[in-house]
Structure 1
């Protein structure tokens, strides 16, 4: 599996289109699509890895260990069906899980 294929697969699992992932990582227009035929820079690859919550080595296929992101990280975005869950809905979900009636 190529680096591009790994990124595409992970992006889909995380609810991102490649364009959205590209923007979230702060890369130039369609940068990720160019990785089908060329090797990304280390800096760009690290940005994408951070958004996806994996290591750059995993994206390169050098390891099978993903190293997921810390859920307490401020940059973590929770999604459902590809859309970001609003903070007020996350709080409601937390209350439901805790069993709070409020």
Structure 2
């Protein structure tokens, strides 16, 4: 997910430069990001790997910059993040789908008649009606 051209030392020095440009101490930035001073310092000094996106978002908040700016510094592009977001399974309540009159339910390209949907719902309830 991270670019080969950005290593932890380069990222750390860029982070430090940005923090100094913003006029924040390590303590101030870390406090705003809800991270420890020591963690922040270790990242800046290249003693830690480039943090995960969730931590990078916190760092962006601490520096009052966009998360995209920090992600670019870390060598992460938006398409990498979009892929990760879509990798997560989406939970869908079948009952809501069946009862949504704005949706036409199909199976293998054929429309499922309402009476069949009602039958399927009864089966899923264990044969019980509402």
The alpha-carbon deviation at position 45 of structure 1 amounts to 1.3
Structure 1 residue runs of 5 or longer lacking an equivalent are: 64-102
Matched, 1:44 2:55: yes
Structure 2 residue runs of 5 or longer lacking an equivalent are: 1-5, 78-130
Looking at structure 2, the residues matched to 9 and 61 of structure 1 have their Cα atoms a distance apart, in angstroms, of 16
Looking at structure 2, the residues matched to 34 and 6 of structure 1 have their Cα atoms a distance apart, in angstroms, of 13
- TM value normalised by structure 2: 0.41
Query: Superposition RMSD on alpha carbons, in Å?
Result: 2.0
Helix, strand or coil at the partner of 1:27 = coil
More helix by share: 2
Q: Is the 8 A contact 1:11 1:21 kept in 2?
A: yes
2:32 to 24, 30, 33: 24
The aligned length equals: 63
Helix, strand or coil at the partner of 1:24 = helix
The alpha-carbon deviation at position 62 of structure 1 amounts to 4.7
Looking at structure 2, the residues matched to 6 and 61 of structure 1 have their Cα atoms a distance apart, in angstroms, of 12
Matched, 1:60 2:71: no
